[in-house]
Amino acid sequence: MTKIAFVGAGSVVFTRQLIADLLGFPDLAGIELALHDIDAERLAVAEGTGRRLVEQLGTPATVTATLDRRAALAGADFVVNMIQVGGIDATITDLEVPARYGLRQTIGDTTGVGGVFRALRTFPVLEAILRDMREVCPDALLLNYTNPMAMNVWWASVVAPDIRTYGLCHSVYWTAHDLAELVGLDVADTRYRAAGVNHQAWLLDWTADGQDLYPRLRDRIAADPELERRVRVEIFRRIGYYPTETSEHSSEYLPWFLRSDAQVERFRIEPLQYIGISRDNVAEFEQARALLAAGADLPLEGGASEYAPQIIHSVVTGKPREIHVNVPNAGLIDNLPAGAAVEVPALVDAAGVRPVPMGALPPQCAALNRTYLSVAELTIEAARTGDPRLVRQAVLVDGNASSSLTPDRIWDLCDELTAAHGDLLPEPLRVAVPASSL
């Protein structure tokens, strides 16, 4: 029997979709779904969700739930990681404290100051998960959804290179899906490949019937001036390749957009957007609990679009697929740093996950990716060495932070966030750092 462990299963709506996708494959009937969370109330709702889906979809499966992580992991073939260390309160802190300093963010979970502090909170828990896996399921594949994706995958490769870790994100798929719709095509009739880093990969190959679709996209943009008021379209116009993450995310990875009121208005950006999204997630959890209590069916999205169920299905059944994954750069992208976590296509079947080497990125794309990866590298080094100065230097390198704040203000901001997150951070990094200490 194939066993799939969900760590952070209290992310109930996401857990629901992943389980529904898995149960949508008839040849995965009989799988064991082992759910774990540290929040007993959320775990109970996740367990109820899993059991209801088995009934609702009619696919046999065993659903278990436990507060004991090692018990959930024991004997697992696949581990799906969805943890959010510190929960919604820590997320709001990552957004609201920088805003008081004049540093705007929209999502704050990937790079920049929000990504750095989210990573530092996550690393100790991720390392503990990997340590448990080494002891109770060393051959399992770790399928990571937790952000900041690039930093987490990179950290996993540092502390547990023996565990096969793949970072999964739906941004490439949904970019290809939405762009196909924009130019009047079904995504199934297109071919696409992207490469770069998570949330800042580039659509390098996008065709239909062998024809490049970029001219068609440029014509579509030219016919609608409102499209030019989107962040991703501006990046596309300046760089020449379309980025694979939303405008809201993409705006905070560069120094171009959030630095002024005029740019925020011009590109219709909503700072602090993720606070509302996080509160909506809480409301969705309450709705799920109410539906279960009422004995009602759970709402489901059609089709298996998430990558974790596709990987599991392909490895178990041998069905070949091509998806996109985040993995350490071992000869995959020539002009990005070796060892850094990069996003590339991958072939999946019974033999496992095989990332596809993509050669060199267009130099302008690699240049932007390298700045992003510099923030990640300094964060990794801060955690590895316990040097709190590197935390400040990581934020100082970030384009959005450095375009909005002076170095003194960045130092003060990092000191305040360090105090706010307290015990969630690795112990050596829980200190303020006077600039004079350099």
Digit-coded pLDDT (tens) for 353-362: 999 999 999 9
Q: What share of the chain is helix, strand, coil (3-state, %, to 5)?
A: 55, 15, 30
36 sits in which H/E element: strand 31-36
Q: Give the whole-angstrom CA distance, residue 148 versus residue 113.
A: 11
Q: Is 170 in the active site?
A: yes
Averaged confidence pLDDT in the chain: 96
Write out the E strands in 272-332: 321-328
Q: Is 169 assigned a ligand-binding role in the annotation?
A: yes
- pLDDT for 29-51, tens place per residue? 999 999 999 999 999 999 999 99
Helix (H, G, I), strand (E, B) or coil at 417: helix
- pLDDT for 105-163, tens place per residue? 999 999 999 999 999 999 999 999 999 999 999 999 999 999 999 999 999 999 999 99
> Which of the four pLDDT bands, split at 50, 70 and 90, describes residue 435?
confident
> Which of the four pLDDT bands, split at 50, 70 and 90, describes residue 412?
very high
Q: Is 369 assigned a ligand-binding role in the annotation?
A: no
| Helices assigned H by DSSP within 101-196 | 112-136, 149-159, 171-182
For residue 304, the model assigns a pLDDT of 59
Q: Taking residues 85-95, what's their average pLDDT?
A: 96
> Which of the four pLDDT bands, split at 50, 70 and 90, describes residue 434?
confident
Cβ(91)–Cβ(274) under 8 Å? yes
Cβ(333)–Cβ(195) under 8 Å? yes
Peptide bond into 148 cis (omega under 30): yes
Which range (21-35, 37-51, 58-72, 277-291) has the least confidence?
Answer: 277-291
Q: Is the pLDDT of residue 283 over 90?
A: no
Cβ(383)–Cβ(429) under 8 Å? yes
Place of tokens 């919604």: 88
Q: Give CA separation, 130 vs 170, 202, 311, 387, in Å.
A: 23, 30, 20, 23
- Catalytic residue of the set 170, 177, 324, 421: 170
Q: Give the whole-angstrom CA distance, residue 354 versus residue 40.
A: 37
Q: What is the pTM of this model?
A: 0.96
- pLDDT for 298-307, tens place per residue? 888 766 579 9
Q: Exposure pattern of 353-380 as b/e (b: 16+ CB <10 Å)? A: bebeebeebeeebbebbbbbbbbbbbbb
Q: Domains in the chain, ordered, with CATH?
A: 3-87+109-167 (3.40.50.720)
Q: Is 147 assigned a ligand-binding role in the annotation?
A: yes
> Which of the four pLDDT bands, split at 50, 70 and 90, describes residue 70?
very high
Q: What percentage of residues in the chain have a pLDDT greater than 70?
A: 99
Torsional sign, CA 185, 186, 190, 195:
positive
283 by Cβ neighbours in 10 Å (0-12 / 13-18 / 19+) ranks as exposed
Q: Give the whole-angstrom CA distance, residue 404 versus residue 401.
A: 5
> Which of the four pLDDT bands, split at 50, 70 and 90, describes residue 12?
confident
Q: Is the pLDDT of residue 257 over 70?
A: yes
- pLDDT for 310-355, tens place per residue? 999 999 999 999 999 999 999 999 999 999 999 999 999 999 999 9
Q: Taking residues 3-12, what's their average pLDDT?
A: 95
- pLDDT for 268-281, tens place per residue? 999 999 999 888 88
Q: Taking residues 377-395, what's their average pLDDT?
A: 98
